[in-house]
C-alpha cells in the first residue's frame, strides 16, 4: 500500500499506546512488505476509519458550518473586521493559522466562538488561549486544538 500524497502543513505527531500482540501483528505485516513502516500501517488504518465514517463527518461539517482544510487569519484582516464591528464564528477542521501580531484581545473582539478540530498555529499566547477554550459559546462546544 503506497502512502497517500500529502501537501500543505507538516504532519502532526500523535502518540498511540498499542498492546504487544497487536504491535507484533503490525510488525509482521511490515516485515512481509505489506506496509513500509508502522507509521504507514497506522496512517492507512486511520484513513480506512475516516473513509468508513465519511458521511457522518460530512454531515457535521455541513450542519455546523465548519471550514475544512487550512484557514489563515492575518492581523490586518482581523483588525479590519473589528473596525467594521463584524462578529463571526470560527469553526475549523484541519489547520488554523493566526498571523504575527494577532492577540487574544483581537480574537475576542472578532470571534464569538472558536472551535478548531486539528491544529492551531500562531503566536504562542494565542494558541494557548484557543486551547483553553475560554472564548467558546455556551453551547458546550470546545476548542480541540493542538500545536
CA dist 109 → 6, 15, 80, 112 (Å): 35, 35, 11, 8
For residue 139, what is its C-alpha cell?
Answer: 453551547
**Could you read off the pLDDT of 65-86 as tens digits, one per residue?**
898 999 999 999 999 999 999 9
Q: DSSP string spanning 13-61?
A: P------HHHHHHHHHHHHTTSSSSHHHHHHHHHHHHHHHTHHHHHHHH
Express each pLDDT in 29-44 by its tens digit.
999 999 999 999 999 9
Residue 123's nearest CA partner among 78, 93, 82 is 78
d(Cα 79, Cα 96) in Å, to the nearest integer? 17
43, 14 in Cβ contact below 8 A?
Answer: no
pLDDT digits (tens, 9 = 90+) for 85-117: 999 999 999 999 999 999 999 999 999 999 999
Amino acid at each position: 500500500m503506497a502512502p497517500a500524497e500529502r501537501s500543505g502543513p507538516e504532519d502532526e505527531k500523535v502518540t498511540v499506546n498499542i498492546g504487544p500482540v497487536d504491535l507484533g501483528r503490525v510488525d509482521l505485516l511490515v516485515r512481509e512488505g505489506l506496509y513500509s513502516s508502522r507509521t504507514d500501517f497506522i496512517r492507512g488504518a486511520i484513513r480506512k476509519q475516516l473513509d468508513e465514517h465519511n458521511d457522518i463527518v460530512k454531515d457535521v461539517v455541513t450542519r455546523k458550518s465548519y471550514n475544512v482544510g487550512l484557514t489563515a487569519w492575518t492581523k490586518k484582516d482581523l483588525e479590519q473586521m473589528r473596525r467594521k464591528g463584524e462578529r463571526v464564528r470560527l469553526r475549523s477542521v484541519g489547520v488554523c493559522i493566526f498571523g504575527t501580531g494577532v492577540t487574544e484581545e483581537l480574537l475576542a473582539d472578532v470571534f464569538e466562538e472558536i472551535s478548531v478540530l486539528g491544529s492551531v498555529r500562531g503566536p504562542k499566547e494565542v494558541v494557548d488561549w484557543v486551547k483553553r477554550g475560554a472564548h467558546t459559546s455556551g453551547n458546550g462546544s470546545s476548542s480541540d486544538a493542538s500545536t
